[in-house]
């Protein structure tokens, strides 16, 4: 079987607290996008992973795809195997949830291949232990994510043309949160108004009420993030923002023609520069 593992963007991201175990409590509005990795799964005696597209991504036991497969085997007492081939397109260290999407694809595909029959909540419980974004990726639809990412609520959002830029080296999530806690005066997004803006497809309203509190903390560490955001606005984006804990910055456009013109302007300056859309 062949499964699409779709990337995601954050329309909003707010930090609302921290648990005793160190996990941050978040409030986020997220949406899948058309950009995706592909996971190809075939029957096999053992469990093995190969990776195509990004030579520096490990295909070993530390890869989230294999970790998800092992977790499913252990929980359900499965001894069967599978041959897993991952075709990577989603940039790494980007805040696009690529690793989480790949793990979600593995859980869905192997659940079907091995005839386990777990429902979505059960798969989410397995995924939650591996990564906070995996439950969202298993739902694969616009959601408000709260808690550490496991409390998911359906939201309404339309299709928006996007350009993704990765203007700098990745930041570690730990580094970004450390910078956030050392920062002062960061204004949180107005999630209620952002929900309404997405519902009505109003990117200009979203520009006023949206936001990612980790963006403000990341810019002093990577000034290129602010520069890329400004470049997207100059190219005609109605809304631009860093996604997740970075380092990708996305611009959302009102029409596909505007996004195409912006892509032609930016593709020689930024690599990667990806033209896509929300899903």
Among all residues, which ones are annotated catalytic?
Answer: 8, 133
Integer CA distances (angstroms), 79 to 47, 69, 72, in order: 10, 11, 10
Classify the phi-psi angles of 28: left when phi > 0, otherwise alpha if psi is within -120 to 50, otherwise beta.
Answer: beta
Please, what sign has the CA dihedral across residues 70, 72, 75, 80? negative
In angstroms, the CA 79 to CA 73 distance is 7
In angstroms, the CA 239 to CA 203 distance is 6
Please, what sign has the CA dihedral across residues 234, 236, 242, 247? negative
- Residue 277's φ and ψ, nearest 5 degrees, are -160, 165
Partner residues linked to 33 by β-bridges? 278
In angstroms, the CA 50 to CA 228 distance is 33
Integer CA distances (angstroms), 56 to 25, 48, 91, 154, in order: 31, 17, 12, 36
């Amino acid at each position: 079987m062949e499964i699409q593992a779709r990337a995601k963007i954050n329309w909003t991201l707010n930090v609302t607290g921290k648990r005793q175990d160190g996990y941050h409590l978040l409030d986020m509005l997220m949406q899948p996008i058309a950009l995706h990795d592909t996971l190809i799964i075939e029957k096999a005696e053992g469990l093995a992973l190969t990776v195509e597209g990004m030579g520096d991504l490990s295909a070993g036991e530390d890869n989230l795809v294999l970790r998800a497969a092992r977790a499913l085997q252990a929980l359900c007492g499965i001894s069967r195997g599978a041959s897993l081939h991952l075709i990577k397109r989603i940039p790494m260290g980007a805040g696009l949830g690529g690793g989480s999407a790949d793990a979600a694809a593995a859980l869905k595909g192997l659940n079907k291949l091995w005839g386990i029959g777990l429902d979505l909540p059960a798969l989410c419980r397995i995924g939650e232990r591996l990564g906070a974004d995996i439950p969202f990726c298993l739902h694969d639809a616009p959601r408000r994510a709260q808690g550490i990412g496991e409390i998911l609520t359906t939201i309404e959002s339309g299709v928006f043309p996007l350009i993704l830029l990765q203007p700098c080296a990745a930041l570690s999530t730990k580094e970004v949160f450390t910078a956030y806690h050392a920062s002062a005066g960061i204004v949180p997004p107005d999630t209620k108004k952002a929900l309404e803006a997405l519902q009505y497809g109003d990117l200009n309203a979203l520009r006023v009420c949206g936001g990612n509190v980790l963006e403000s903390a990341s810019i002093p560490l990577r000034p290129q993030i602010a520069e890329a955001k400004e470049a997207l606005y100059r190219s005609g984006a109605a809304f631009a923002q860093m996604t997740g804990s970075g380092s990708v910055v996305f611009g959302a456009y009102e029409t596909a023609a505007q996004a195409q013109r912006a892509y032609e302007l930016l593709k020689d300056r930024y690599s990667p520069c990806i033209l896509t859309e929300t899903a």
